[in-house]
């Protein structure tokens, strides 16, 4: 049985997101506006731009971040080279009407004090900061001082990851 989206198209995926995250292999993907002479061929600069472009092209009116259970120190067992990955239970559910602000709050809850940190500053050590880019593009604020946080405070919800 197929679920239908509101506009009538099937929700069946035609491919995985893996190639977007890889150093190579993404070249065959026909992304609108993707130019062969891209200065950013690596995923650490490409993926943050894709995130910002998607949010600009199709604004998100409700963002929900499930932090009830999570993994610490990696995306999954396939990325664990050190044995540090472990399942965690932060018990947090974060929701907001703006994806940039919601993700900024989640970043702070994860223990990263500056969601607007530039590349080279933890947790954006090796990648461009999609929150900063989205903020600068006018898609929402990642400045914690400008976000109306309701429910638990960031300090009370904090579950440090890094």
Higher pLDDT, 83 or 152: 152
Query: Token match 């993926």: residue?
Result: 47
Q: Per-residue pLDDT tens for 38-78? A: 666 677 888 888 889 889 999 899 999 999 988 876 665 55
Taking the model in full, what pTM does it have? 0.77
Cβ contact 97:71 at 8 Å: no
Quick one: which of 68, 69, 63 has its CA closest to 93?
A: 68
Which comes out higher in pLDDT, residue 162 or 114? 114
Q: Spell out the domain ranges in the chain.
A: 18-157
* Separation between Cα atoms, residue 92 and residue 152, nearest integer Å: 10
The rounded distance, in Å, linking the Cα atoms of 90 and 158 is 8
What is the pLDDT, as a whole number, of residue 7?
A: 46
Mean per-residue pLDDT for 77-95? 78
The Cα–Cα gap between 121 and 114 comes to: 9
pLDDT at 1 over 80: no
Enumerate the β-bridge partners of residue 154: none
Q: Could you check whether the bond before residue 123 is cis, i.e. omega within 30 degrees of 0? A: yes
Q: What is the pLDDT of residues 101-142, one digit of tens each?
A: 999 999 999 999 899 999 999 999 989 999 999 999 999 999
Helix (H) or strand (E) holding 70: strand 70-72
Mean pLDDT computed over 137-155: 96
């Amino acid at each position: 049985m197929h679920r239908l989206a509101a506009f009538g198209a099937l929700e069946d995926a035609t491919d995985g997101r893996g190639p977007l995250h890889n150093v190579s292999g993404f070249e065959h993907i026909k992304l609108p506006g993707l130019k062969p002479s891209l200065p950013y061929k690596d995923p650490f600069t490409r993926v943050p731009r894709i995130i910002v472009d998607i949010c600009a092209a199709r604004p998100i009116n409700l963002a929900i971040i499930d932090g009830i259970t999570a993994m610490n120190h990696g995306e999954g067992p396939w990325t664990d080279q050190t044995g540090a990955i472990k399942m965690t239970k932060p018990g947090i559910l974060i929701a907001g009407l703006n994806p940039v602000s919601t993700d900024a709050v989640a970043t702070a809850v994860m223990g990263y004090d500056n969601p607007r940190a530039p590349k080279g500053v933890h947790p954006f050590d090796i990648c461009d900061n999609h929150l900063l880019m989205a903020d600068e593009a006018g898609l929402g604020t990642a400045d914690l001082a400008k976000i109306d946080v309701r429910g638990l405070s960031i300090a009370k919800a904090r579950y440090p990851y890094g």
